[in-house]
Structure 1
Amino acid sequence: MSATVHRVAAWFHRHPRARLAALLAAPLAWLVIAYLGALGVLLVSSLWSVNTFTGDVVYEATLDNFRTIFTDPVYGTVVLRSVLVAAAVTVIDGVLALPMAFFMAKVVAARYRQWLLVAIVTPLWASYLVKAYAWRVMLANDGPLDRLFGGPGYGLTATVLVLSYMWLPYMILPVYAGLDRLPDSLLEASADLGGRPGRTFRSVVLPMLVPSIVAGSVFTFSLSLGDYITVQIVGGKSQLIGNLVYANIGAANDLPFSAALATIPALIMVVYLLAIRRTGALERL
């Protein structure tokens, strides 16, 4: 037995790639079974249906759920609204993250950067629900924002505002990492050639930051696209995909239709990832 163990150990020693493959076998198995397996179960469940009389799940493949989603204008409106909300959150976070990350990476003294990073990351440690309900209080009628600015109240505007706050750190961190890798010599060379700060930012900094911005957008877009808690808390009567999934699992007790709805954000993200893969953004994640 010991001789066999020694021969196996010697073989792995002579073949480092095989040793690496053996070490990665467990994580890869977990990925395939837990993650890809769960997506497979979701897809299979979306092909089932529910008996309208008994409420039991009918385990026969059918495309009725997807046919309903793509032919009923109500669901089409909800899907479009969800995509537009996610896109708006991504654009707002990108606009806010650029100057903040630039200040952290290129303006402030190096000894203060770690403290600013801590300040950016700290909100992520707070409870999601606590932050969402705090915004509900601020957005309420006669709340702080209403008294100061005549706040937007509850609705899509409030949803975009709260989601932008929630996911802003996920945009700042990739952009900051991209700026931190940007050599200061490029900025100095642009200044020596007469480039003004605005021109330097547009012509030198921004093109090199595109992969980092796109990498951040993967987080902000995907997290906003599938969110339903914020919409429940501050969205008023607005409905997004996540709310429909939750409603069909709970009150309607229609698990197959909920699974079909849940595949829509997954398909949208697959298309989005395929569209951005050539920008090099996926290597920045």
Structure 2
Amino acid sequence: MNHQASTVTTPSAAPKGFLVSFSDLLWRKPSVLLAILLGPPVLWLGVVYLGSLFALLIQSFFSIDEFTGLIQYEFTLKTYGELFSAANLDIIVRTVSMAAFVTVGAAIIAFPVAYFAARYAHGKWKALFYLGVMLPLWSSYLVKVYAWKLILAKEGILNWLLTQLHLDALLNAYLSIPIIGGNSLSVSYTGTFLVFLYVWLPFMILPLQASLERVPSSMLEASSDLGAKPLQTFRHVLLPLALPGMVAGSIFTFSLTLGDYIIPQIIGSSRLFIGQAVYSHQGTAGNIPLAAAFSVVPIVIMGFYLMGAKRMGAFNAL
């Protein structure tokens, strides 16, 4: 009896469409998906931001002809040498000093606020805290600055309040102090400091509050149980653990103060800050190479600042 061998035929697999093949590729290689998602914004950042910085850096190696006022497109370090003149060096020192004072002042004020929010505020009170901190950021930057100018002016509400409290003589004595004083708070470095402090304070509070929330309560209780006084607990336990958040906040307050030119132009004396010098040399004087050299100064300073902040673990608190 002949048995005919039966053959089993399998239908050939249907060719995959492009979308199916592409989906399989993304599933097998997640790095391709990551490259597709990050490629356009990184390319935009490289062309627009890094490209503009590179063009700025190139401009800083040119110089201005003292007779014609035209840019000489020849490589030179003459423009950077001008930064070390007495007038320009004074601008740099003044700006860095103000940024440092604002950063320290913001840390001192922000710490108790952030500590209260991290330890004692819960539920609706924490929501109210975030609303109170974020609310000033939602209003117009210029409106806030001009409002402070009216508050600090000689005819402003602060001067009126001090007069009603018979403290105007104390204010006048303070304004008579060289460097930090002036005709009124609105035209003094003290006024500039107060406005900088108000505007950038939220950028210090939020990272510090996030850092303090990561500190276990058990560590503070253990320190107390071991006989440490509150000041010792703060110095040896709480402050070291909260320091990364404080440094993270200082990145914002220091860098934003370093590059701002609007606040010193509206409130304060006629002495320039770095941002004003860049604006003046590029717009009024037409000295673009010197303006570019001034712009490089905050970049270099923040480069070293960020390296130090990274070593202190500040990026983990952002």
Give the TM-score normalised by structure 1.
0.92
2:244 aligned residue: 211
Identify, as 1 or 2, the structure richer in helix. 1
Deviations 1:76-122 (A, max 9, x none): 11101111100000000000000010111112344311111110110
1:179 aligns with 2:209: no
| 1:33-87 CA distance string (max 9 Å, x none) | 12211211110121223344444433332222111112x1111111011111000
Residue 102 of structure 2, aligned match among 68, 89, 114? 89
Aligned identity (percent) is 42
CA distance in 2, matches of 1:52, 1:76: 20
CA distance in 1 between partners of 2:148 and 2:257 (Å): 16
One of 97, 122, 128 as aligned partner of 2:141: 128
Matched residue, 2:64:
50
> Residue 226 of structure 2 corresponds to which residue in structure 1?
193
**Conserved 8 A contact 1:225-1:241:** yes
Taking the TM superposition and a 5 Å limit, the aligned residue runs for 1:1-285 are: 3=17, 6-70=20-84, 72-147=85-160, 148=162, 149-150=167-168, 151=171, 152=175, 153=185, 154-285=187-318
Q: How far is the alpha carbon of 1:3 from its aligned partner? A: 4.8
Query: Given that residues 78 and 240 in structure 1 are in contact (C-alpha distance below 8 angstroms), is that contact kept between their aligned partners in structure 2?
Result: yes
Q: Deviation string for 1:162-219 (max 9, x for gaps)?
A: 1011100000000000112222222222233333333222221111011100000000
Secondary structure (helix, strand or coil) at the match of 2:286 reads coil
Residue type at the aligned position of 2:56: L
Offset, 1:2: 7.1
Q: Which digits, 9 at most, give the CA deviation of each residue in 1:244-277, with x for residues without a partner?
A: 1111122211222111111111111111111222
On the 8 A contact 1:155/1:238 being kept in 2, the answer is no
Equivalent pairs counted in the alignment come to 284
**CA apart distance, 1:141:** 1.5
Task: Name the aligned partner's letter for residue 97 of structure 2.
Answer: L
Supply the distance in 2 between the matched residues of 1:211 and 1:281 (Cα, whole angstroms). 4
CA distance in 2, matches of 1:92, 1:86: 10
Secondary structure of 1:60's counterpart equals coil
2:47 aligned partner, one-letter code: I
* CA distance in 2: counterparts of 1:113 and 1:196, whole angstroms: 28
> Can you give the 5+ residue segments of structure 2 that lack an aligned partner in the other structure?
1-14, 176-184
Deviation at 1:231, TM superposition (A): 0.5
CA offset at residue 5 of structure 1? 5.4
Give secondary structure in 2 for the equivalent of 1:250.
helix
Q: 1:109 to 1:19 in 2, by over 3 A?
A: closer
In 2: Cα distance, 1:248 partner to 1:86 partner: 22
User: Secondary structure of 2:83's partner?
Assistant: helix
* C-alpha distance in 1 between matches for 2:27 and 2:309: 39
In terms of mean alpha carbon deviation, does 172-181 or 138-147 score higher? 138-147
Task: Give me the CA root mean square deviation.
Answer: 2.0
Distance change >3 Å, CA 199–CA 110, structure 1 → 2: farther
Is the 1:85–1:160 Cα contact (8 Å) retained in structure 2?
Answer: yes
What letter corresponds to residue 57 of structure 1 in structure 2?
Answer: I
* Range moving further from structure 2, 83-92 or 61-70: 61-70
